[in-house]
Amino acid sequence: MATKVLEECSISPAGPPITSPPSPPSSTALPLTFLDIPWLFFPPSRPLFFYNFPHPLTHFTSTLVPKLKLSLSLALRHFYPFAAALLLPPIPPSKPHIVAGPHDSVEFTVAESDSDFDQLSGLYSQIDAAELRALAPPLLPRAARANMVPLMAVRVTVFPNSGFCLGLALNHVVADARTFNNFMKLWSTFCVDHHHDRSSLPCYDRTVIVDTRGLEGVFLNEWWKRRTLSSSPSRVLDNGACDDELVRTSFVLGFGEMDKIKSRIRVLNLEQQPKHSQLLDLISPYVVTCAFLWVCVLKTQERVGQDSALHHNDEDPNYFGFIAGGLTRFEHPVPVTYLGNCVGFGRAKASRGELLGEYGLVVAARAIKRTVIRLDEGFLGEADRWISEWAELIGSDIHVMACGSPKVDFYGRDFGWGKPKKIEEIEIDSTKAISLSESRDVKGGIEIGLVLPKLQMDAFTLLFKEGLMACY
């Protein structure tokens, strides 16, 4: 892929405000809450939004780019922390915090690519993961101050006469997927008509995140301990080291397919536990999808003889991690427009042998459902172990984790040229997670993004199809 950079600039939160957002008149410190701190261990989120745009390069640079710049500037007036920086303190026990000021900006790059837009934005076909990584901007420390980490960057790549890719990098400490979607909603609305719905403006009240269990100290201690032991200053500086031989594929599970998997789980559950089968009477499409993927990934490891898998026996524990929404689970009410993180972590556990056995699908569904129930009953009940438990999952070749949420409607983000043709999450190249999102075209469906070495991807694709056939 040949890519040429056409422009590099910075976009500031400027332009006449339609309302009076709480933009900082001078340097302002925005503290991290205890729900932000765990995200210091994750590389940035790097989503790609592909849009059809069958126009020549000149039309792109003269029409689309100016609109994206102006609307981004207007949106940043309301979401000013996105243009700010994360200050990493030099010595413990100081806490990292967001520093916002009147001179903040977001790096904005415009590029041109000669790659095949339709291939890169297509479903089901295998794509060289390195090609897609090149479309996402890096998040690097600012040269003047190495301890100041930018929180967002934007890269727009045009494929003349075909389409364009809106690539972003966003540090997780500033926003969860819900907050990021609220930002994208405002940006896209400004791009269309420069008006917005006041109900979507962010809430900055940090006091709504109440730390009743002293978790901030627990998480900060973990961060300082791991930061001291690491050769890298912090995971937040890591843009994601990954294997250049990776390929990426997307799958979709429709409502009908998920219903078939659910029926199969119920039948197997009755066979295995006829007297104690009530747990799986009601299971969500999310649990069904995660259980199915967990088993498929483990079977893939076994089929290709993955070295790391061969050193584990049937009694060894295997984990499935996922992001758990906190708005409906948190102990105190949190506005849907709150700017920051309000999510937690779930980690289901089962033995490897059971997951690979005849009733593996039931074992997986049961483990995930029980984890969801624990989170529903006590969202922060096991939160003191979030960081230590998830350290085993990030980048693991054995355990499985999912990121994203099918409840967030990223496919609704229309900048004036229709909804996205495809959305990809580049972060999973390094975390080795499975991305889950709403389906663009299948109502009630879940889109699955996966990155694996080619041999494993071929095996997974076959097992995915075989697994579906076994449910019919």
Give the residue numbers annotated as catalytic, written as ranges: 172, 414
Question: Measured between alpha carbons, how far is 166 from 136 in angstroms, rounded to an integer?
Answer: 8
In this structure, the strands spanning 317-325 and 343-351 are: antiparallel
In this structure, the strands spanning 3-11 and 106-113 are: antiparallel
- Extract the tokens encoding 281: 């009477």
| Residue 374 CB coordination number (10 Å) | 15
Determine contact, residues 299/463, Cβ cutoff 8 Å. Answer: yes
Question: Measured between alpha carbons, how far is 129 from 248 in angstroms, rounded to an integer?
Answer: 5
Question: Measured between alpha carbons, how far is 146 from 169 in angstroms, rounded to an integer?
Answer: 18
DSSP helix/strand/coil, 386:
helix
> Smallest Cα–Cα separation from 42: which of 465, 294, 387, 356?
387
The sign of the CA dihedral 366, 367, 371, 372 is negative
End-to-end CA distance of the chain: 41
Residue type at 115 in one-letter notation: S
Question: Measured between alpha carbons, how far is 410 from 200 in angstroms, rounded to an integer?
Answer: 15
DSSP helix/strand/coil, 326:
coil
With DSSP H G I counted as helix, E B as strand and the rest as coil, what are the percentages for the chain, rounded to 5? 40, 20, 40
E strand intervals along 160-287? 163-170, 246-253
Report which secondary-structure segment, H or E, holds 11.
strand 3-11
Question: Measured between alpha carbons, how far is 340 from 264 in angstroms, rounded to an integer?
Answer: 39
- Extract the tokens encoding 326: 């906190």
> Smallest Cα–Cα separation from 50: which of 463, 411, 378?
411
79-108 burial code (b ≥16 CB/10 A, e <16):
bbbbbbbbbbeeeeeebbbbbbeeebbbbb
Query: Which residues partner with 107 through β-bridges?
Result: 10, 153
